Amino acid sequence: MTVRTRAQGVVPPPLERRIPLSAGLTKARLPGLALACAFYLSTAHAADFIAFESGPVRPMALSPDGRMLYAVNTPDNRLEIFTVSDAGTLAHAAAVPVGLEPVAVTVRNPAEAWVVNHLSDSVSIVDTQALTGTTPGEPGVPFVARTLLVGDEPRDIVFAQGRAFITTAHRGQQRTHPSIADVPGAGDHQLHTPGIGRADVWVFDAEQPGPGVGGTPLRIVELFGDTPRALAVSPMATPSMQQCSIRETRPA
What per-residue confidence (pLDDT) applies to 124? 96
Q: Are 202 and 180 in contact (CB under 8 A)?
A: no
What per-residue confidence (pLDDT) applies to 229? 84
pLDDT in tens, 34-91: 555 555 555 555 566 676 778 889 999 999 889 999 999 999 999 999 999 988 899 9
Closest CA to 72 of 109, 101, 112: 101
Banded model confidence at residue 10, pLDDT cuts 50, 70, 90: low
At 174 the three-state DSSP class reads helix
How many residues would you count in the chain? 252
Which CATH number is associated with domain 60-223? Answer: 2.130.10.10
Q: Does 130 score more than 70 pLDDT?
A: yes
What per-residue confidence (pLDDT) applies to 230? 87
Closest CA to 157 of 117, 127, 189, 185: 117
pLDDT in tens, 156-193: 999 998 999 999 988 888 888 898 889 998 888 777 87
Average pLDDT over residues 215-234: 86
Angstrom distance (rounded) from CA 114 to CA 105: 6
Q: Does 201 score more than 80 pLDDT?
A: yes
Q: Does 242 score more than 80 pLDDT?
A: no
Q: What angle do CA 15, 16, 21 make, to 5 degrees?
A: 130
What per-residue confidence (pLDDT) applies to 55? 86
What per-residue confidence (pLDDT) applies to 212? 80
Closest CA to 123 of 100, 101, 145, 149: 149
Q: Are 112 and 123 in contact (CB under 8 A)?
A: no
> Burial letters for 49-76: b for 16+ Cβ neighbours within 10 Å, e otherwise?
eeeebbebbbeebebeeebbbbbbbbee
Q: Does 94 score more than 60 pLDDT?
A: yes
Chain center to CA of 52: 12
Q: Are 148 and 204 in contact (CB under 8 A)?
A: yes
DSSP class of residue 21?
P
Q: Are 120 and 100 in contact (CB under 8 A)?
A: yes
Q: Are 107 and 61 in contact (CB under 8 A)?
A: yes
Whole-Å CA distances, 100 to 76, 143, 180: 8, 16, 23
What per-residue confidence (pLDDT) applies to 135? 56
What per-residue confidence (pLDDT) applies to 18? 46
Banded model confidence at residue 222, pLDDT cuts 50, 70, 90: confident
What average pLDDT does the structure give for the chain?
78
What per-residue confidence (pLDDT) applies to 170? 82
**All structural domains of the chain with their residue ranges:** 60-223
Chain center to CA of 238: 31
Ranges of H-type helices in 28-134: 30-44, 129-132
Beta bridge partners of 104: 58, 116
The larger pLDDT score, comparing residue 85 to residue 248, is at 85
Banded model confidence at residue 246, pLDDT cuts 50, 70, 90: very low
Most confidently modeled range among 1-15, 58-72, 187-201, 230-244:
58-72
Average pLDDT over residues 233-248: 51
